[in-house]
Amino acid sequence: MGTFYDRHTDVYDRALGGNIHVGYWDDEADESSMREATDRLTDLVAERLAPSEGQHLLDVGCGHGSTAARIIAHHAVKIIGISVSDYQVNLANSRPQPPDLPGEATFRLADAMENPFPDDTFDGAYAIESLMHMKDKAAALGHIARVLRPGGRLVIAEHGLEGELNGLDAARMADAYAYFKFSLSTDRYGELLREAGLRLVDHTDITRNVERCYDSMIRGWRDAARKGDGEAAGDWETAADLGEWFFCKVPQLRYGLLTAVRP
């Protein structure tokens, strides 16, 4: 997984306007740019976390630090971000942090399924499009629950599959999972969170608000295929072919914002 993002981060970043997650548009009439829309998704996560001054937050699967950078520009919090990509952690730690920002952020290489932090370390945590990559979601969520203080919130922004796929689509989905290193489980998040000792307090389906970004992402991959060479070009063609089906034609694919609390 780390190698995947070592190699693919820059292309995702370009296609998604400087962030590595989907954008949020209010409606058809919303003319926000990709950057504005992807920043708005970060703002929606931060709103749900509602952090108070001085709080410590864990960014689970922090990408190249753009999300934490936006949160500390608006909130006086301390963020620690973890990623399994060396390349991303280096980018995140070298991102300039002007001294007059209200908050601060640091980043380190760590696997969320073996979360290295002591119990009760954080007042809040967020995971934007990172749990989809984790094979053992129960372990990752169990650790998040463990490192959260009582009353701490977890906000998840995530793709998921709702409902069954037919046999042909299920086989195709296996290819998409292998390529994107996904395993999606919207249906089961309530259960997984409960088993981890967290209480789901809100689940908002925002599929309609985010789907506009997929065309741009796929165009970005085709572009990378044209510019790339050898293996990388083939990789991006595969991503675009799979993505055109997976992101645009599978009605069971949903995107949700979930808020949970450690009692």
Ligand X SMILES: C[S@@+](CC[C@H](N)C(=O)[O-])C[C@H]1O[C@@H](n2cnc3c(N)ncnc32)[C@H](O)[C@@H]1O
Binding positions for ligand X, rule: CB under 6 A: 1, 5, 19-21, 61-63, 66-67, 82-85, 88, 111-113, 128-130, 133-134
Q: In whole angstroms, what is the distance from residue 256 CA to residue 86 CA?
A: 28
**In sequence order, which residues have a C-beta less than 8 Å from that of residue 82 and are 6 or more positions away?**
58, 59, 60, 61, 62, 107, 108, 109, 110, 111, 112, 115
Question: What's the closest the beta carbon of residue 175 comes to ligand X, in angstroms?
Answer: 19
Q: How far apart are CA 63 and CA 85, in angstroms?
A: 8
Q: Which CB sits closer to ligand X, 83 or 209? A: 83
In the complex, least distance from residue 140 CB atom to ligand X, rounded to whole angstroms: 7
Q: Which is nearer to ligand X, 21 or 254 (CB)?
A: 21
112 versus 154: smaller Cβ distance to ligand X: 112
Q: Which CB atom, from 51 or from 199, has the smaller least distance to ligand X?
A: 51
CB of 32 to ligand X, least distance (A): 17
Question: Please, what is the end-to-end C-alpha distance for the chain in angstroms?
Answer: 32
User: Which residues lie closer than 8 Å to 241 by C-beta, 6 or more apart?
Assistant: none
The minimum distance between CB 21 and ligand X, in angstroms, equals 4
Closer by beta carbon to ligand X, 62 or else 72: 62
Pure H helices in the chain: 2-15, 34-49, 66-74, 86-94, 137-147, 167-180, 186-195, 207-210, 213-227, 230-249
- The three-state secondary structure class of 253 is strand
Please state the closest distance from residue 74 (CB atom) to ligand X, in A.
Answer: 16
CA 168/CA 178 separation, integer angstroms: 16
Return the number of the residue (43 or 54) whose C-beta is nearest ligand X: 43
Looking at residue 118, the DSSP 8-state letter turns out to be P
Closer CB to ligand X, 55 or 130, in the complex:
130
Q: How far is the CB of 167 from ligand X (least distance, A)?
A: 29
Q: How far is the CB of 85 from ligand X (least distance, A)?
A: 4
Q: What is the DSSP string of 168-201?
A: HHHHHHHHHHHHHT----HHHHHHHHHHTT-EEE
